[in-house]
Amino acid sequence: MAIPPAVVAAARTGWHWQWQQLMGGLGPADPEGNYRRPAGAFVAKPELPQSAGEPGAHVLIVGRSCPWAHRAWLVRQLRQLQQSIDLLVVEPDPKAGRWRFSTPFRGCQTLQELYRAAGADPNQRATVPVLVERHSGAVVVGESARLMELLNSWPAPKGVLDLEPTSHARAIKDWRERLQYSVNDGVYRCGFARNQGAYDRAESALFQTLAEAEATLSGPNASPWLCAETPTLADVQLFPTLIRLELVYAPLFGVSRQPLWQFPGLWRWRQRFFALSGVAETCCDQAWREDYFGALFPLNPSGIVPAGPALATLVEGTVSA
C-alpha cells in the first residue's frame, strides 16, 4: 500500500528535526551551519618534562580510529620513542559516547575518569591523544598539534628524523595551518555540515587544498615531501586524513568529487609515507570503518558497515618520486 504524501512529508520533517538535534550533540555548528570543533582540555604546549626520555615514564594514549591520535602515534613511531613512551590504546564505547580502557589504568575505567582525576572540568570532553606522566597521572598535553611538536623535541635515538627542521620551519607552519582547517578538519566540516551551503564551502576548500598539495608534489623537479627532502610534521599531519579518504571519508562524509588516484602526486606520496618504518602498524583500517560507520548514528542510522577497498590496494605498488 502506498504511503500518503502527507505522511511522507510529516515523517521527513520530523526526521530532519531529530537529525538536527542529534547533530547538535555530535558536533556543534555556527548559525550558518558550519561545523565548529569544540575546544579540548590540556591544550597548551608544555615545556619538555624533566623525566622525558626515561624508559616508561610517560604513556601516550590513543584510539585506533581517531585521526588526531594517529598523528601523535606516527611521530612516536618515526622518532623511535617506543623505549621512553609507552603506548596505551583505548576502545570506543559508542553507546556512552566515550573512550574506555580495556583494563583499568591508574584506577580509571574510562578516559573521562582519568581527565577528571587530572583536574579537567567534569563537563570537558575527554579526547585522544593524550600524553600522561605514568606515576603521577598528570596530563602533560592533550592537544594533538602541540603534542606532535613536543614529541619532535623529545629525547630520541641518534640519527632519527627531525620532523621540524629550522630551515623549513616557515613552510611547515604554513602547510600545517592550511591542512588543519581545509583538510584535517575540512572532511568533518563536510560530514557535519548542517546545510548545503556549509557543505559546499567546506568541500570546495578541501579539494582546493588537495590540488595545491598535488601541484607541490608533482612535476619533474618536485620534492618527494611537502616541505623538504625528508618527511616533516606537515606530511605527518596530512597522512591520517588521506589514508582514511576512500575507506571512511568519501562514503560517509560525502567527499567523493575526485578519488585520490586522480591526484597522482598525492597517490605516490601516500604510498611513500606508508612505506616508512613503523607507519603500517599504526593503520587499523577495520577499526576505522567499524568505529566511524558504527558510532556516527546521525550520519549512518542503519549502523551497517559497507564494504570498502582493501587497504593494500591503496598503499602498495611501485613508489617513485
Per-residue pLDDT of the chain (321 residues; tens, 9 = 90+): 678 887 777 767 776 666 577 677 677 899 999 999 888 778 777 889 999 999 999 999 999 999 999 999 999 999 999 999 999 999 999 888 899 999 999 999 999 999 999 999 888 889 999 999 999 999 999 999 999 999 999 999 999 999 999 999 999 999 999 999 999 999 999 999 999 999 999 999 999 999 999 999 997 889 999 999 999 999 999 999 999 999 999 999 999 999 999 999 999 999 999 999 999 999 999 999 999 999 898 899 999 999 999 999 999 865 444
**What type of residue is 142?**
G
Q: Are 79 and 161 in contact (CB under 8 A)?
A: yes
Instruction: State the cell numbers at 40.
Output: 579540548
Residues carrying CATH 1.20.1050.10, the chain: 167-315
Pairing mode, if any, of strands 58-63 and 85-93?
parallel
How far apart CA 278 and CA 157 sit, in angstroms, is 15
- Is the bond leading into 129 cis (omega within 30 degrees of zero)? yes
- Residue 287's SS3 state is helix
How far apart CA 278 and CA 73 sit, in angstroms, is 10
Predicted confidence at residue 155, as pLDDT, reads: 97
Which CATH superfamily includes the segment(s) 58-152? Glutaredoxin (3.40.30.10)
Predicted confidence at residue 123, as pLDDT, reads: 83
Residues carrying CATH 3.40.30.10, the chain: 58-152
How far apart CA 245 and CA 209 sit, in angstroms, is 14
Q: Cα–Cα–Cα angle for 313, 318, 321, nearest 5°? A: 120
Predicted confidence at residue 319, as pLDDT, reads: 47
Domain 167-315: which CATH class?
A: mainly alpha
Query: How many CA atoms within 13 Å lie on the side-chain side of 48?
Result: 11
DSSP letters, 72-115, are HHHHHHHTT-TTTEEEEEEEEETTTTEEEEEEEETTEEEHHHHH
Q: Are 270 and 209 in contact (CB under 8 A)?
A: no
The CA distances from residue 115 to 125, 132, 138, 193, in Å, are: 9, 10, 9, 29
